Amino acid sequence: MRTKRIAYWTTTGLVALAFIAGGLTDVARPPMVVETMKHLGYPAYMAALLGVWKLLGGAAVLSPRLPRLKEWAYAGMFFDLTGAAVSHAVSGDGGGKVATPLVLLVLTLASWALRPTARKVQAAVPSEVDSRRAAPVRLAA
């Protein structure tokens, strides 16, 4: 159990660090970021929008409780990272620029899979009404 906890916090810390650092860089929009957005075919304002989302996602996976928000953050990270890999591949970038978001995606998926029960959305318990509806109906012969 201790190994799982260490693996969870290691992967989560790396993912949060990558997203928070990337988000800060995107929000600042230095010339390198603007040029990368242009190269990938996106308008410059997308950097600021993605940057804010990255900051919020990084903060969400680190925050205690809020399991539903964490699920959305992990989903957003999945979309961001797969989109980044495809964007770099389609733009003709080298393997390193395609592989980087995929490596982060593996860390993100590991963080999601290793999260403790307290950080997961619990399944809804069906109400009595729902369970009565689900009961089989027997017809008289």
The confidence score (pLDDT) of residue 119 equals: 84
**pLDDT at residue 104 in the model:** 98
Q: Is the pTM of this model over 0.75?
A: yes
pLDDT digits (tens, 9 = 90+) for 63-119: 988 999 999 999 999 999 999 999 999 999 999 999 999 999 999 999 999 998 888
pLDDT digits (tens, 9 = 90+) for 9-20: 999 999 999 999
| Nearest residue to 19 via CA among 78, 71, 67 | 78
pLDDT for position 140: 65
pLDDT at 129 over 60: no
Is 26 in a helix, a strand, or coil? Answer: helix
Structure tokens at 100: 């980087």
**106 HSE (CA, 13 A, CB side):** 4
Average pLDDT value over all residues in the chain: 91
Average pLDDT, stretch 40-68? 96
Please report the pLDDT score of residue 132 as a whole number.
52
Query: What pLDDT does residue 124 have?
Result: 53
